[in-house]
Amino acid sequence: MKSLHAFFIITFITVILFTYLAYELIVSQNKISTLSSKAKDESFLDIASKIRFVVNMNRLKTAGDIIYSSSDTKERLKARVTAQVIAFDPIFDENPKLKSEVNEIWKDIKNIYFLKNQVDIILTNVSTSFEVIQNLTLDSQFSVIRDSIKLIIDKKHLSNINLVILSMDNMNSEIKSSPIFKQMYHLAGLLLNAHIMETEANLLWKLKSEIIDSIQQTVNTTTLHATESGIEQVLGISQSADNSKHKIVVFVLIIGLLFTILGILLYIFVFAPIVRITNALHNIENGEENISIKKELLKEIDEIGKATTLVKNTLNNIQQQQILLETLATTDQLTGLYNRRYFFDIANKELSRVKRHHTLCSLLMLDIDHFKSINDTYGHNVGDKALKLFSHTISSLLRDNDVFARIGGEEFVILLLETNQQQAFKKGLDIIKSIEKLSINTNENGLLKFTVSIGVSALNISDTEIQCAISRADSALYRAKTQGRNQVVEYINS
């Protein structure tokens, strides 16, 4: 009996360790999933946003340089349009202070564009008017002035006009009274105005160029910090994965050892007694005399019956634990929907079927609108209620063979079998209408209503993996978000 008790104890320990191993697997998976989601949502998207900001600032500065330095009117106009498009990029809306600075830069770029165009107009008009004077025969004093003005027009050295006007002001009154002098003095005055405008444009662009450099330096610094934070999170994910791997190896070895011990005990206390009893029964059947069954054999028969019952119960427990483990490994604990890993397994198999048999299949990407605001305003308990109600409502609209999964915080995906893209679009409209009718009583803050945005795409036989269809649906989802949310958008191949 003591040996049988030892067998029971070892069996019990094995079941406990197997259960704990399942628990460790689930906890490790959730931890890695949480770290990955955080790295995606908080670090890498932030880095991408800042990089786009830096690129836009570089393009804005390049456009300003062209307007400031180019003598080609068409090139300046093209640069002005580019600067306007960049200045109104929605990426700047994320930082109101920087958006205000970019708006000021854009206004000054417009002023520089206007000043440079005015300088060109003045130079063109002066050059046209100067052609008449250039063909006249003048005495030496007027010739010197004319040549100086011509050199300024040809070389566009407007800074020299001050010296020309100064020399003209120092001439005697007789020369100043002549019509040709007055005409040249008028042209010199126009060139002086052009020089003032050009100087103003130069100073303005120098100032704005320095401001752009300062903004870029600030954003580059914050981008570096965000990148370092993202790397730390990735390292954290890797460390968590390594720790989980080590734990699993240790527990598998322990369980393997315990199963080996169980096998030995089964042979000693179950199979060996059965063999002895069987041999004794064969001897009786063959008519051998003086066959006696020892008390130990009778006791072993009783123990075998008890052990058989225990083994049966143990196997049932292990089977239940396996079912529980499989359920936990394939479903999202909060909503009861399939999780990301299981969805990708099923979806890739379905894509293979589509490619092999040319069947129809479509995919919906869903994202609850302003979900972060719901958590921030009402708390995570209300947010969890919203996720559960959202999942339950949509599940009631789907068929048994449709695959509905939660793949992120407020991100969901639905795989609709035997469904084309138009039918999937209609299903998305049904979901939109059903979610609009939902409400959650938040007590102090009244009723909470929320909406969902949906992107739709069909699976194509040209898709190499399910991620291709997901990317198309995600692109349509992004359009639904930017067009006002609470709507369904189909992916259209441009």
Residues that are catalytic: 410
Residues 348-366: b if buried by 16+ CB within 10 A, e if exposed: eebbeebeeeeeebbbbbb
Q: Which of 212, 234, 211, 224 is nearest to 51 (CA)?
A: 224
Q: Which residue has the tokens 């390292």?
A: 235
Q: Is 410 exposed, middle or buried (0-12, 13-18, 19+ CB in 10 A)?
A: buried
What is the distance between the alpha carbons of residues 107 and 437, in angstroms, rounded to a whole number? Answer: 46
Sign, CA torsion 234/235/241/244: negative
Amino acid at 62: T
Task: Answer whether 349's CB lies under 8 Å from 361's CB.
Answer: no
Task: Answer whether 83's CB lies under 8 Å from 67's CB.
Answer: yes
Q: How many CB atoms lie within 10 A of CB 235?
A: 10
What is the distance between the alpha carbons of residues 465 and 344, in angstroms, rounded to a whole number? Answer: 10
Q: Which of 123, 190, 202 is nearest to 155 (CA)?
A: 123
Task: Answer whether 197's CB lies under 8 Å from 159's CB.
Answer: no
Q: Is 323 exposed, middle or buried (0-12, 13-18, 19+ CB in 10 A)?
A: exposed
Bridge partners of 367, per DSSP, are 411, 453
Give the H/E segment covering residue 222: helix 179-266
Angle between helix axes 295-330 and 340-357 (nearest 10 degrees) is 80
What is the distance between the alpha carbons of residues 276 and 297, in angstroms, rounded to a whole number? Answer: 8
Q: Pairing relation of β-strands 452-458 and 488-490?
A: parallel
- The residues near 460 (Cβ < 8 Å, ≥ 6 apart) are 354, 468, 469
Q: How many CB atoms lie within 10 A of CB 20?
A: 13
- The residues near 44 (Cβ < 8 Å, ≥ 6 apart) are 230
The DSSP code for 324 is H
